[in-house]
Amino acid sequence: MDDFRQRLRDLIKVLGLRQNAFAVRLGISPSHVGKLKVGSEPSPLLLTAICCVFSVNRHWLEYGEGKMFAGGLSDPYLEAKQESELIASYKRQITDLNAEIDRLREVMQKAVARADKAEREFDNIKKGENIFDYLEADVVAEQDHEPYGKRPAPRKPRAKGDGK
């Protein structure tokens, strides 16, 4: 444990913690962490606590050999960066999905509007306001040389005995 204090400083820095936060997570006083940083020897129980709480490689902590973190864990900054990139990717996907939802909502609104229009037209046909009645009146008006769109006056039926 020739340079435990430097490894401890490096660990606290890599974890991105202040001395107080580091101490709180271990359940020790900040002054005890300060003593460790200036050369006080840690107890085996404290070494175990550091390794368990922060997933530190015990061999690295004691002797400075091997990787800092146990179990194949990488640098916490790298992990945080990867998590940030993943979160940013999820946010982009959510934004894209929201845009697609908005687009589909517009398509559905147009489809509903067309269906409503078709239903109104169907209701008009059922009521006898058939478009063909209007078209037929226009054709008759053209044949009688009336202005386009003007309906001819209805013809009166002949009375019996009119002689004509």
Instruction: Please give the tally of structural domains in the chain.
Output: 2
62-83 mean pLDDT: 72
> Looking at residue 158, what is its pLDDT?
64
Using the predicted structure, report yes or no on whether residue 99 has a pLDDT greater than 80: yes
Domain boundary among 42, 63, 84: 63
Domain boundary among 28, 63, 98: 63
Q: pLDDT band at residue 156, thresholds of 50, 70 and 90?
A: low
Residues 51 and 101 grouped into a single domain? no
Least confident range of 10-14, 68-72, 124-128, 148-152: 148-152
Residues 88 and 131 grouped into a single domain? yes
> Please, what is the average pLDDT of the chain?
80
Does residue 111 form part of some domain? Answer: yes
Does residue 163 form part of some domain? Answer: no
CATH number of the domain at 37, please: 1.10.260.40
Residues 114 and 137 grouped into a single domain? yes
Rounded CA separation 15/77 (Å): 7
Using the predicted structure, report yes or no on whether residue 78 has a pLDDT greater than 80: no
> Looking at residue 159, what is its pLDDT?
63
Q: CB-based contacts of 42: which residues, under 8 Å, 6+ apart? A: 4, 36, 50
Rounded CA separation 38/5 (Å): 6
> Looking at residue 109, what is its pLDDT?
93
Q: pLDDT band at residue 105, thresholds of 50, 70 and 90?
A: very high
Rounded CA separation 146/137 (Å): 11
Residues 44 and 80 grouped into a single domain? no
Residues 91 and 122 grouped into a single domain? yes
Which domain does 94 fall in, by range?
Answer: 76-141
Q: pLDDT band at residue 85, thresholds of 50, 70 and 90?
A: confident
23 CB neighbour count, 10 Å cutoff: 19
Residues 129 and 81 grouped into a single domain? yes
Residues 40 and 82 grouped into a single domain? no
130-144 mean pLDDT: 59
Does residue 154 form part of some domain? Answer: no
For residue range 108-128, list pLDDT tens digits in order: 999 999 988 888 888 877 776
